[in-house]
Amino acid sequence: MILVTGARGNIGREVVAGLVSNGQAVRAAAFDAAAAKRVSAGVETVHFDFADAKTYGPAVDGVERLFLMRPPQITDMENTLNPFVDFAVKAGVRHIVFVSLLGVEGNPRVPHYAAEQHIERAGVPYTFLRPSFFMQNLNTTHRAEIRERDEIYLPVGRARTSFIDTRDIGAVAAKVLCEDGHDGRAYDLTGGESLDYYQVADIFSEVLGRKITYKDPSSVAFLISTVRHGTPLKFALVMQMLYRSTRNGIADVLTEDVSRLLGRSPRTFRQYVIDYAESWRR
């Protein structure tokens, strides 16, 4: 049995689909208790909350392998993800596949760093997936500005990002969970091209058939605008920090790990915009 946390999220739903098509027994953990019942047809589901230890037992019962993801809302590893890892290991989990962050090994300030360290010490085989920025940020976090204002509003200048499609991360995770040979490994997951946001805006304009413009605000203007459009200050500050790193070139890294693991090229940004075009139509 494989437990998938965040099973309704961007990556989690792809992991569930990949495992099911591989014939694996899957248990999908959903935070939203009502939605837990409808993750995917034929998949066992369970209500799960990192902050509520009472939900741990039913989630890990009989589980051998764990797909672990830190929900973006959770920053307190000590009282959430870490106790769950300890509980899972005691309950018999024998392999943990954790979604981390590209460049985490050099950035102790991000929560994923502490999470990796804790998992390394937990005493079971693990695999870290360290993805670059998700293409899917553009149809979630940045959807409204593209759909309603025809703009992409980020303070990164001409810096490049090696965007990855979460469908490819999910496919990598499913593969790593299904086969041997990935213990103790860390994979840097990037797309096959590194783009700046002017190029991103051009791809959007071509595919959607209307002009999308990249605006390059100052970091402070970005923070004010993001909060004004409804993002809580705490998350707006995290976004500001992440985009500051992007501006400094940290997201401009290309690796071969996705093609090596999947035996095909990663999805392109253009293909992503084509596949999700309805998200930005008015």
Ligand X SMILES: NC(=O)c1ccc[n+]([C@@H]2O[C@H](COP(=O)([O-])OP(=O)(O)OC[C@H]3O[C@@H](n4cnc5c(N)ncnc54)[C@H](OP(=O)(O)O)[C@@H]3O)[C@@H](O)[C@H]2O)c1
Instruction: Catalog residues that contact ligand X under the rule CB under 6 A.
Output: 6, 8-12, 30-32, 35, 48-51, 69-74, 99, 101, 131, 133-134, 137
**What minimum distance in Å lies between the beta carbon of 144 and ligand X?**
16
Instruction: Give the residue at shortest CB distance from ligand X.
Output: 9
Q: Which is nearer to ligand X, 73 or 265 (CB)?
A: 73
Select 35 or 221, whichever has its Cβ closest to ligand X: 35
- The answer to whether 150 and 210 are in contact (CB under 8 A) is yes
Give least dist CB 65 to ligand X, A: 18
216 by DSSP, 3-state: which? Answer: coil
The tokens for 162 are 């090696």
Closest C-alpha to 174, from 9, 17, 15, 11: 15
Rounded Cα distance, 57 and 145, in Å: 42
Measured between its terminal Cα atoms, the distance across the chain in Å is: 42
Cβ-based burial of 173 (10 A; exposed 0-12, middle 13-18, buried ≥19):
buried
- How many CB atoms neighbour CB 182 within 10 A? 21
CA-based nearest residue to 20, from 72, 56, 67:
67
Question: Residue 31 or residue 280: which is nearer to ligand X going by CB?
Answer: 31
| Closer residue to ligand X (CB): 201 or 250 | 250
Q: How far is CA 29 from CA 24, 73, 180, 226, in A?
A: 15, 16, 24, 31
Q: Work out how close the CB of 163 gets to ligand X at its nearest, in angstroms, rounded to a whole number.
A: 8
Distance in Å, CB of 35 to ligand X, minimum: 5
* Nearer of residues 44 and 206 to ligand X, judged by Cβ: 44
Is the CB of 14 or the CB of 216 nearer to ligand X? 14
Nearest distance in Å: CB 180, ligand X: 25
Output the smallest distance, CB 210 to ligand X, in A: 25
* Per-position DSSP letters for 228-248, written without gaps between them: HTT--HHHHHHHHHHHHHHHT
